[in-house]
Amino acid sequence: WPHALPRYKPATSARDFRTSTAAPTAAAAAATAANYSNDSQDALVRSLVAQALVRSPRVEAAMRAMDRRDFTSTHMGIPLHVSYSDAQVAIGQGATISAPSLHAVCLELLEAHAAPGAAVLDVGAGSGYLSGCLSLLVGDKGHVVALERQERLLDQAGWSLARALAIHFTSYASHRARPNPAAGPPGQPPASGASGPRCVQLHNIELLHGNCLDDAVLAAAGGPFDAIHVGAAAREVPAQLLALLRPGGRMVLPLGPPAGMQSLTVVDKAADGAVTVLAVR
């Protein structure tokens, strides 16, 4: 990311993004108090369900299947109670994995657009956790492009995703994406002499290295996409990404000044191309 678009570092949790106005239930209060007592992915997801942060059965199933421990403690020796807490956790490379509550809110906002067979772009994929959940939502006939500018972080995400999805993974570094969709299928090693952003395919996830504002990288990413998630703050909706959003699609990103208050924002593109921007906080 360029300096104008620093990595978004959300608060400890995303409860402020909750769309329900109902008073917290006793179960929700208990789940909040027991934030650091979760000892498994199931316990973590149960607490998110109790707080009404996870509502869709598909999101619940995806988050249960995508074990957060594969993206945290395996790299840094982080204890179980920290891996499964509702807090952002440092994972090395100067990066953090977002709080599960924020992941839950973003997945709920994108769930209807990440239908089976959909194409999804995850910009600033970081740990790879959200990309993994999205890959489960879109299924075998869908496609997720996980775009990350830090090579070592993308490599780390690849190992984590391979572990979580039980896929053999060597390294993405030996593969390069073709510079545009016309050059061949995305995620496959190019012909000799071809050049372009580095990438590799893991099942239905394409790990792509590069900056989202680089035209060659966006050409390699392909599109259009039914859903786009952006994990870094921007002052305004990036025109380059909006152009990749399919009519009827949705983008979710934090909007606001880099050093100021930011709002989790939903951008919907209607069938006629009209764009609606709505802050959910």
User: Quick one: pLDDT at residue 257?
Assistant: 84
The strand ranges marked E within 26-115 are 89-92, 95-97
Q: Clarify whether 98 is annotated catalytic.
A: yes
Taking the CA atoms of residue 27, residue 29, residue 31 and residue 32 in that order, the dihedral angle to the nearest 10 degrees is: 170
Question: Does residue 12 surpass a pLDDT of 80?
Answer: no
91 or 191: whose pLDDT is higher?
91
Domains and CATH numbers, the chain: 96-279 (3.40.50.150)
- The DSSP element (H or E) to which 110 belongs, if any, is helix 100-110
232 strand-pairing partners: 7
Question: Nearest CA to 62 among 95, 97, 110?
Answer: 110
Catalytic hit among 85, 98, 127, 135: 98
| Mean pLDDT within 131-138 | 97
Q: What 3 state SS string does 19-39 have?
A: CCCCCCCHHHHHHHHCHHHCC
Q: Band of the pLDDT at 169, cuts 50, 70, 90?
A: low
Residue listed under structure tokens 């606001």:
256
Q: Supply the mean pLDDT for the chain.
A: 81
Q: Band of the pLDDT at 103, cuts 50, 70, 90?
A: very high
